[in-house]
Every structure is written in C-alpha cells, then in structure tokens.
Amino acid sequence: MNDKVSPVQPRALHRSTGTITIVVVVLVLLGCLFVGFNVTRHNNPFGIGVGATGGKPCTSGQNTLAPVQYATGAGQSGLYAVRSEGLYRFKVQNGHLTPIWFFSMGWCPNIPTPAPSGMGGVLLPTPNIITSATVANGSVYFGVLENAGVYMYAIRASDGALLWRVKVGTQRGLEGPLVLHDLVYISTVDDKTGNPRIFALDAHTGIAHWSYEYPQSANNRNGVGLNNVVDNAIIVLDGDRFFALNATNGKVAWTTLTEGNQQTTDAQFFDGVLYVSSSSTCFNCEVQPATSAIYAYNPVTGTKLWSSQLVAGYPSPAYEVHGVVYYGTQAGTVYALQANDGTELWHSTVGGEVRTLPQVIGNTVYVGAGLFDTATNNPNTQPGYILALDIAQGKHEWSQALPSYQYTGYEPIVAGGNSIFLGTRPSFIDSFSSTQGTLVQYTVPSGQDAFNLNNMPSLTYVV
C-alpha cells in the first residue's frame, strides 16, 4: 500500500484549486521527441526571507495568520478540510467531527473601482488557499495565492502554528504539494520562460534544494504535470509521455512514451507498482468506445508490466488493494482488475460518471458518481451520489443520493475509519457510514469568508 496520508484532490482529474495549464511547443525532429530541461540547485532562489513570520500578506482587515484553537490535538491524525479562507483540523470519531483548530488566512477583500461587469463589485479576496493539504512528519503543507504572488506554507499539525512561509512564484497556478522523506515537491510557472518548474523544498525550512524546468509537450491535452511520488522518484505526466525525476537531485531517471494516441491522465503508486490511467479522449468529452486503459509500470525503470483492455469513457485514477485494481470511467462503469496481469475480474454499471479515485474499506469499494443517467437501472434519482459495491463481484450494496447543487461528481471522496467523507456545497462535509450509507452532514464554520459561501471544502484524511 502507499502512504497512510490520503491527499484529496484532487491531484489528477479535478484540480479546481491549483491547475497549471501551459502549452509549450516541443520540436519533433526525425520522429524523435526533443525534450529540453534544466536542473538547478538553490540555497534560496526566491530572494525573500524564509522564516516563521514572513510578513503580513495583506494590509486591510483582520490578518492573524494564526490558528484558532478549539481543543487539544497531539499528533497529526484526523480530517483536514481546506477552504480558501483557511484550514481546519477535525478529530474523527464514529463519523462525527470535532474541530481541533482552524488556521485563518485573514482574508482581505479586493474590490476594484469600477467593478467588472457582472462581478457585483467583489472579486476573490487574497490571500486564499489554492491547493489541498498534504500532511507528513507532523506538518501540514499547502499553497496560497497572495497579492504579491504564490506562497508555500507549513504549519504544525498538532496546533496549527505557522512554521514557515516562502514565496515560490508570481504567476497563478501550483501543483502539489507532494512530500517524500524531508522534501516537499511543488510545480509552479517559471516567471521568465512560462514553463513548468518543479521545486524540491526543505520540509523544515522551505529552502529549495533543487529545481527542474521543462517545456510542456504540445500534445498535452489534459494539463497534468507533477503527479505523484514513488520510491525515491517524482512522477511527472506530460500528455503522450511521462517521466521520473530522482527525488534527491532532480535528474531525469527515465522517460516513457504512451502507446498509440493515448495520453496520461493520472498515476497512482501501490505496493511497488505505478498504475497509470490513460485515454485517447479528453475529460468531459463525449464518451467514445475503446478509448481508455490502465497501465502498470515498474517505477524504478519505467518498464511496462501490463495494460488492461481498452474501455469506453475517460478513466478515473486507479486504486489497488489486496491484489485488485479498481477504477471507474465517465461511461458510468467501475472495473476490477487482477493486479498481477490486468485481467478483468468484474465490471459494474453505476449509472453515473465516475471521475475520482475509488476508496476501499473492508470488503466494499466506494465511488462517487455524477450526472445520473436515467436510462440505466439504478435506484438513484439525483444527479450525484455515493455508491458502495461488493469487492468480490461488484454488486450494489447501498447508494446515497445528493442534490446537484451540493455534489456534481467532481469532488473526491475520502475513506477514514468506518466512514466515507465528501466535501460538498455550500460548505458541508458529508460523512457516510461505510456499512449502511447513513448520512451525517457537518457545516464547516465560515470563519472570515464573507464572499465565497459556496466554497466546498477539500479534504485530507490522516490515520
């Protein structure tokens, strides 16, 4: 299995808060892909002080950059909920949530004069969190958009205290953060070239150890980039190719091209194998037959181990447990594959598009689905729902429908304890009993967020 920390996000199909979409023409000469890159080592490349204070990111309104303490909470276990204006840590007990602390970003309104047409005089305030939270080694890492640029933050998991804050760029967009050992990996837009640049930051200080710049493939339809960490390597997806960087020094370990006209959409690492979702169609495009597959690779060499049969619909990320790989598609089907050779064990039609990473607790696999298809024989009558399937044959165990204004199917689900958690609109955290699907809905306090009440929480569960 991979690390116990299960970051939500959306990191593959749905990156609503931190998408980098860059198109750079890459020369193709004599049938070979020419790839330019630059590995740079840094002491402090950002030209600003690195420390626990870091200055105040805005000058009006309340701005504490400090936690509000609700209860004691040693360690790092629990559910972390990110909203643009701050980050909560909750204690989880039998599906119920108790707040431990809230780290406030101290929002400042940005009201232009005159206001743009249709904006009602209010634009998105800054600073605001633009990534999900990654929790490791007693710290919580996340990216923030401020008036002066994009910053990385580290706060202490036990009490939410700010550890460090460092500027990582001036342009919008941030991929990650990913954590491996004592380094934090992010991808930003290079201020000079406009290319993606991956940084390895010291997890304790925020100082950069190295960076790697590369021109994004002109064939990259999906906008993916920095994607995952494996054993001492960083996985980067780039359209019709993907590659691994040595996690210690940033040098390219291997590069692999996709087959045919396939493009990488996500990569997940389980039990020493890299499972890559791939498709010849695009996210939210019309469903086409025989367009998508799951590939298994050796993460050390980039060698392909096997590929599944081509199926219809853009694929979700893959989840492997106990020798079985689970994934869904936008055609409304969930698949179970044998992990050693990709042979299909079963598939089940769920009546809605499966876009996000499945979750498994015990003998049940859980998926979120949206855009309910009334033509299928499914008991749900709402556009979005959570579905539980038996892992042996894919039989329907229970489902919980949610109204479309709360859940669309793009929001990742998170398994924690004996519950399934989901961030929905407006500002809810839904907790479902894993055995019966009973719903407990928790309203996330709005803090200082007076401008974005429909901002759904992004969730991370830590054992």
Identify the DSSP state of 35: -
Task: Give domain status of residue 59, yes or no.
Answer: yes
pLDDT confidence of residue 170: 84
In a domain, 70, yes or no: no
> Considering the domain boundaries, does residue 246 fall inside one?
yes
Kindly state whether residue 188 falls inside one of the protein's structural domains.
yes
Boundaries of domain holding 177: 1-65+105-113+122-257
What is the spatial distance between Cα 105 and Cα 122, in angstroms, rounded to a whole number?
18
Count how many domains the chain has.
Answer: 1
Spell out a b/e string for 167-187, using b for 16 or more CB atoms within 10 Å of the CB, else e: bbbeeebbbbbbbbeebbbbb
- Please indicate whether residue 378 or residue 87 has the higher confidence score (pLDDT): 87
The pTM score is 0.81
Q: What is the pLDDT of residue 216?
A: 87
User: Could you tell me which residue, 76 or 49, shows the higher pLDDT?
Assistant: 76
Q: Can you tell me the mean pLDDT for 16-34?
A: 30
Q: What average pLDDT does the segment 112-136 reach? A: 62
φ/ψ of residue 254, rounded to 5: -165, 160
To the nearest whole number, what is the mean pLDDT of the chain?
Answer: 79
CB-side exposure of 63: number of CA atoms within 13 Å? 17
pLDDT of residue 171: 75
What do you get for the CA distance between the two ends of the chain, in Å?
Answer: 14
- Which of 43-57, 132-146, 266-280, 447-461 shows the lowest mean pLDDT across its residues? 43-57
270: tokens are: 């389980």
Residue 326: which of 372, 358, 367, 295 has the closest Cα? 358
In a domain, 445, yes or no: no
Segment 238-258, tens digit of pLDDT:
989 999 999 999 999 999 999
**Mean pLDDT across 46-60:** 34
Stretch 81-89: mean pLDDT: 88
pLDDT at 242: 95
In a domain, 184, yes or no: yes
| 334-344: pLDDT as tens digits | 999 999 999 99
Predicted pLDDT at 85: 79
pLDDT above 90: residue 72:
no
Regarding predicted confidence, which is higher, 229 or 410?
229
Residue 279 included in any domain: no
Beta bridge partners of 256: 242
Task: Give Cα 200 distance to the centre of its chain.
Answer: 18
The pLDDT-based confidence of 134 (bands split at 50, 70, 90) is very high
**Residue labelled with tokens 């590939």:** 295
Q: Contact at 8 Å (CB) between 279 and 261? A: no
Classify residue 134: in a domain, yes or no: yes
Tokens of 339: 């992990």
Mean pLDDT of 165-172: 88
Q: What percent of the chain has pLDDT over 90?
A: 52
